[in-house]
């Protein structure tokens, strides 16, 4: 009798949890804390992101790494992060006193775990973790310790799987897309010959983590990073009841580093003709849903930044992509990274009253809107008479991000994740509103 009653109670509590947890749309705000150690305009400290937080349901701390020998979760910047009074971990989790409803997750991986020797992304140690059962236990235990110690509400597994090889460029711009097996590398070798095993082992890790999280009710999310072929590593059917949500980082389909010779839409919502039909928001979400993930657990990642290429004289006057390119555009004042602009920087470059008469490196870019809401927006500037300063940028602004949020809402998906707060307009320099991209996303869900 008693047993029966407690079972019913557990089921009932589970149901209440499910309803509470899933009825609200998620606005998942990533904060890449590497921005806190930058100098100048790109520096974004925890205090700077506070104005954003009333719009977020989740704040995700990016990023922790993985110790290659012990398989424990490992801070990437021990000195700045771990101090119990004023380290970054504590600074972030203490934001909960002001925003008690905010769930704060620690994210591991996120393409931030990079070999300092050669700047290559680590993925071997992530696969080695999957292959080791004792490693999985060590990882899980270390995660629980760190969540407890610093007061996080859960973990985001932004696992660094091997990435697909960049697509082959078309022989000439505008020619028909020729099919090319994405998992097959240049030498004809798959990126990961053991992906089937790794997929099962990843399921094992997710199940183990979630089971160990139950007592403390920690949340667990999985993020599929750009250019990872999710079908190779995600057994959605088997993990769907062990994750609170899965975020598709639905952007960086092309980047100036991976695709230096061809600029194109980096984050389309729907399929674009003559492109791979599997690489857009709609297709990625459909993959999760067809695997049985309830739609309210599908979260779509939206970038706050632009991907920028240098373009040369033979670019067409409409700027219509794909456009032949010559590597990343020169770095800007804020990100100080070639080929990457924050929204504040983009806003400054688009034609406005301040830049309309400027020339050369400061000449304005023309924005091309997307009334179809399929592809996303871009902006470009043709090279000058000497063939210099040509630029093409695929990016997101409040309007295009709002369109994505409306798409997500229309499909009944679980929400949007913004990558990341530090590259939105943190100071409100564009339109006087701080975090205008986030703001528009949130308003679409009201
Ligand atoms: C991902 O891998 C599957 C299975 O090998 C393949 O069919 C699919 O085309 C790949 N997706 C992309 C975008 O390359």
pLDDT over 90 at 218, yes or no: yes
Cα 417 to ligand 1 centroid, rounded to whole Å: 24
CB atoms under 10 Å from CB of 75, counted, come to 18
Q: pTM surpassing 0.95?
A: no
Cα 149 from Cα 130, distance rounded (Å): 25
- Mean pLDDT of the 107-124 span: 95
Calculate the CA 211 to chain-centre distance.
Answer: 26
Write out the two tokens for 279: 């690489």
Closest residue by Cα to atom 5, ligand 1, is 183
Give SS3 for 185: coil
> What is the model's pLDDT at position 312?
85
231 CA distance to ligand 1 middle (Å) = 7
Q: Which of 183, 198, 230 should be mutated for ligand 1, with most atoms under 8 A from CB?
A: 183
| Cα separation, 285 vs 413, whole angstroms | 8
Cis peptide before 29 (omega within 30 of 0): no
**According to the model, what pLDDT value does residue 318 have?**
80
Checking if the pLDDT of 109 tops 70, the result is yes
Residue 346 has pLDDT above 90, yes or no: yes
Instruction: Give yes or no for a contact between 23 and 73, defined as CB atoms under 8 angstroms apart.
Output: no
The CA 325 to ligand 1 mean position distance, Å, reads 26
SS in 3 state form for 207-260? HHHHHHHCCCCCEEEEEECCCCCHHHHCCHHHHCCCCCEEEECCCCCCCCCCCC
Nearby residues of 270 by Cβ (< 8 Å), 6 or more positions away: 280, 281, 282, 373, 374, 375
Distance from Cα 229 to the centre of ligand 1, integer Å:
6
Q: Shortest CA distance to 249 belongs to which of 60, 18, 440? A: 60
Instruction: Count Cβ atoms below 10 Å from residue 218 Cβ, excluding itself.
Output: 22
| 184 DSSP assignment | B
281-290 and 398-410 helices, crossing angle to 10°: 30
Q: How confident is the model at residue 314 (pLDDT cuts 50, 70, 90)?
A: low
Q: What is the tens place of the pLDDT at every residue in 366-380?
A: 999 999 999 999 999
> What's the pLDDT score for residue 190?
78
What integer pLDDT is reported at residue 170 of this predicted model?
56
pLDDT for the residue numbered 225: 98
Average pLDDT, the chain: 91
Among protein residues, the one whose CA lies closest to atom 12 of ligand 1: 182
The pLDDT value recorded for residue 317 is 73
Chain centre distance of CA 218: 21
Structure tokens at 83: 């101090």
3-state secondary structure 52-74: HHHHCCEEEEEEEEECCCCCCEE
Ligand 1 probe mutation, 182, 233, 252, 283, most atoms within 8 A of CB: 182
Question: pLDDT category, 176, cuts 50, 70, 90?
Answer: very low
Tell whether the model's pLDDT for residue 184 goes beyond 60.
Answer: no
Nearest CA residue ID for atom 3, ligand 1: 231
How far apart CA 328 and CA 340 sit, in angstroms, is: 8
Evaluate whether 300 touches 246 at the Cβ level (below 8 Å).
Answer: no
For strand 73-75 and strand 415-419, is the pairing parallel, antiparallel, or unpaired?
Answer: unpaired
Give all strands (DSSP E) within 54-147, no chain letters: 58-66, 73-75, 103-109
DSSP annotation of 382 reads -
Separation CA 74–CA 35 (nearest Å): 19
CA 76 to chain centre: 18
Does the pLDDT at position 6 exceed 60?
Answer: no
Residue 169 has what pLDDT? 59
Note the pLDDT of residue 15.
46
Lowest mean pLDDT, pick from 162-176, 208-222, 285-299: 162-176
How far is ligand 1, taken at its centre, from the CA of residue 258, in Å? 18
Long-range contacts of 364-369 (CB under 8 A, 24+ apart): 365/391, 365/393, 366/319, 367/397, 368/318, 368/319, 368/320, 369/399
Domains of the chain (ranges, CATH numbers) = 23-305+396-445 (3.20.20.80)
Asked whether 142 and 93 are in contact (CB, 8 A), the reply is no
Which of 147, 139, 144, 154 has its CA nearest to residue 218? 154
Is the distance from CB of 89 to CB of 150 less than 8 angstroms? yes
What's the CA-to-centroid distance between 43 and ligand 1, angstroms?
Answer: 38
Q: How confident is the model at residue 70 (pLDDT cuts 50, 70, 90)?
A: very high
CA distance 103 to 115: 30
Instruction: Compute the distance between CA of residue 64 and CA of residue 417 in angstroms, rounded to an integer.
Output: 18
Q: What local confidence, expressed as pLDDT, does residue 24 receive?
A: 74
State phi, psi for 304 to the nearest 5 degrees.
-105, 5
d(CA 110, CA 139): 16
> Which residues contact ligand 1 via a Cβ below 6 A?
164, 182-183, 229, 231-232, 276, 278-279
Residue 302's nearest CA partner among 259, 360, 251 is 251
pLDDT bucket at 315, cuts 50 / 70 / 90: low
């Amino acid at each position: 009798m008693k047993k029966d009653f407690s079972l019913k109670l557990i089921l009932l509590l589970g149901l209440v949890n499910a309803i509470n947890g899933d009825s609200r749309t998620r606005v998942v705000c990533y904060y890449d804390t590497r921005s806190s150690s930058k100098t100048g305009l790109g520096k974004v400290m925890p205090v700077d992101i506070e104005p954003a937080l009333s719009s977020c349901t989740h704040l995700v701390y990016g990023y922790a790494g993985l110790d290659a020998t012990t398989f424990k979760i490992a801070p990437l910047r021990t000195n700045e992060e771990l101090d119990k009074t004023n380290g970054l971990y504590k600074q972030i989790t203490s934001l909960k006193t002001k925003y008690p409803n905010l769930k704060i997750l620690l994210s591991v991986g996120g393409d931030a775990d990079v070999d300092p020797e050669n700047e290559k992304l680590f993925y071997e140690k992530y696969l080695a973790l999957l292959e080791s059962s004792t490693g999985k236990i060590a990882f899980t235990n270390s995660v629980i310790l760190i969540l407890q110690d610093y007061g996080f509400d859960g973990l985001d597994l932004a696992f660094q799987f091997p990435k697909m090889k960049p697509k082959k460029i078309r022989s000439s711009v505008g020619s028909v897309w020729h099919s090319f097996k994405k998992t097959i590398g240049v030498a004809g070798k798959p990126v990961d010959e053991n992906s089937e095993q790794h997929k099962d082992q990843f399921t094992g890790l997710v199940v183990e983590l979630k089971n160990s999280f139950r007592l403390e009710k920690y949340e667990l999310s999985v993020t599929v990073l750009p250019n990872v072929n999710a079908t190779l590593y995600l057994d959605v059917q088997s993990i769907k009841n062990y994750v609170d949500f899965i975020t598709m980082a639905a952007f960086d389909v092309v980047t100036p580093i991976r695709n230096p010779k061809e600029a194109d839409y980096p984050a389309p919502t729907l399929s674009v003709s003559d492109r791979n039909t599997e690489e857009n928001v709609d297709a990625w979400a459909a993959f999760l849903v067809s695997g049985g993930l309830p739609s309210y657990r599908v979260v779509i990642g939206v970038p706050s930044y632009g991907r920028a290429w240098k373009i040369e004289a033979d670019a067409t006057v409409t700027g219509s992509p794909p456009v032949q390119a010559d590597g990343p555009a020169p770095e800007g004042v804020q990100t100080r990274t070639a080929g990457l602009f924050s929204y504040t920087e983009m806003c400054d470059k688009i034609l406005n009253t301040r830049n309309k008469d400027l020339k050369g490196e400061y000449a304005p870019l023309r924005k091309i809107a997307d009334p179809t809401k399929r592809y996303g927006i871009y902006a470009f500037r043709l090279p000058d008479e000497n063939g210099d300063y040509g630029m093409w940028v695929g990016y997101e602004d409040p309007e295009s991000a709002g369109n994505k949020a409306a798409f997500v809402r229309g499909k009944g998906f679980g929400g949007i994740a913004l990558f990341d707060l530090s590259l939105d307009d943190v100071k409100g320099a564009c339109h006087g509103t701080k975090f205008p991209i986030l703001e528009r996303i949130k308003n679409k869900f009201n």
